[in-house]
């Protein structure tokens, strides 16, 4: 599951989880089930349209498509996650360079202190204050210490934007280093925003693909697992519980696995 707190903090989704293998196994066993049903010939003749061979093939193909879509979107999500992580990797040392340049710029002390306070948030340290009764979540906090370890990527972007605004309004800040100039800082901010937005969009596509796959596999009325259960029951009713036909299909396992 990035946007959520997991998304904001760049989750590392499993490359190939046990549950992912389970989805694929369910799909493979369903195809085997269809093959057995076809082998029974005309004696396999359910009244329920959902259990007929063409509909079983259609469901099987749909599930395979959904599983492949999840694979594609997960790979994209992993790639975009890595790209965003790399883009933010140097933010802390870069912010320290900005602050050092501002300190020696000749700006007034109060403005420098404001900039330092924002940098502490970027660095993930804490600052002591007595004038802020609530945390970002709205919960009452200690009047002596307010945690500024706001390390979600959205917060990092917000802190950098606030720092740039302070520098922009200061006539003293005019470094010779190109990468520290206001225009360069604004370009860096835009780049980080783009990387963060790209991840949000990628996560949305990935999440939707997971939902669609799980519906196809595990819908309690029409999903693959439920359909397989009904096919087995039909075969049991037609051929008998001790028949070789039922013995073939009874060994095929279909498990409910709705997690990733």
CA distances 100 to 112, 128, 173, Å, are 10, 21, 11
Phi, psi of 144 (to 5 degrees): -95, -35
Overall average pLDDT of the 178-186 stretch: 98
Digit-coded pLDDT (tens) for 68-113: 999 999 999 999 999 999 999 999 999 999 999 999 999 999 999 9
161 pLDDT above the threshold of 80: yes
User: 30-74 pLDDT, tens per residue?
Assistant: 999 999 999 999 999 999 999 999 999 999 999 999 999 999 999
Mean pLDDT of 9-17: 41
CB neighbourhood size of 46 (10 A): 18
- Whole-model pTM? 0.75
Q: Which helix (H) or strand (E) holds 146?
A: strand 145-146
| 3-class DSSP state of 128 | strand
Residue with tokens 């196994």: 25
Please report the pLDDT score of residue 121 as a whole number: 94
Which stretches of the chain are DSSP H helices? 5-8, 18-39, 53-88, 91-103, 109-123, 153-168, 182-218, 224-239, 244-250
Alpha carbons 191 and 198: distance in angstroms, whole number: 11
The answer to whether residue 187 scores a pLDDT higher than 90 is yes
Give the percent of the chain with pLDDT over 70.
81
Q: How does pLDDT run across 136-160, given as a tens digit for each residue?
A: 323 333 333 323 333 589 999 999 9
Sort 110 into a burial class: Cβ within 10 Å, 0-12 / 13-18 / 19+: exposed
Average pLDDT along the chain: 85
72 or 7, which is more confident? 72
Q: Which of 20, 27, 19, 17 is closest to 252 using CA atoms? A: 27
């Amino acid at each position: 599951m990035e946007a959520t707190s997991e998304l904001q903090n760049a989750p590392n989704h499993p490359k190939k989880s046990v549950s992912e293998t389970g989805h694929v196994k369910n799909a493979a066993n369903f195809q085997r089930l269809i093959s057995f049903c076809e082998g029974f010939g005309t004696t396999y003749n359910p009244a329920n349209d959902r259990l007929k061979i063409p509909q079983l093939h259609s469901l099987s193909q749909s599930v395979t498509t959904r599983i492949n879509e999840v694979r594609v979107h997960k790979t994209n999500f992993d790639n975009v996650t890595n790209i965003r992580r790399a883009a933010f990797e140097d933010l802390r040392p870069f912010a320290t360079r900005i602050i050092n340049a501002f300190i020696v710029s000749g700006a007034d002390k109060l403005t420098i202190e404001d900039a330092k306070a924002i940098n502490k948030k970027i660095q993930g340290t804490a600052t002591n204050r007595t004038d802020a009764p609530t945390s970002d979540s709205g919960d009452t906090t200690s009047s002596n210490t307010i945690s500024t370890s706001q390390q979600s990527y959205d917060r990092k972007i917000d802190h950098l934007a606030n720092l740039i605004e302070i520098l922009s309004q200061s006539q003293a800040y005019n470094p010779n280093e190109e990468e520290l100039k206001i225009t360069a800082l604004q370009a860096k901010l835009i780049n980080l925003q783009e990387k963060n937005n790209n991840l949000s969009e990628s996560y949305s596509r990935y999440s939707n693909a997971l939902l669609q796959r799980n519906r196809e596999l595990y819908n309690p009325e029409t999903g693959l697992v439920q359909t397989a259960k009904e096919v087995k029951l039909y075969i049991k009713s037609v051929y008998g519980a001790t028949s070789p036909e039922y013995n073939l299909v009874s060994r095929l396992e279909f498990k409910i696995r709705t997690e990733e």
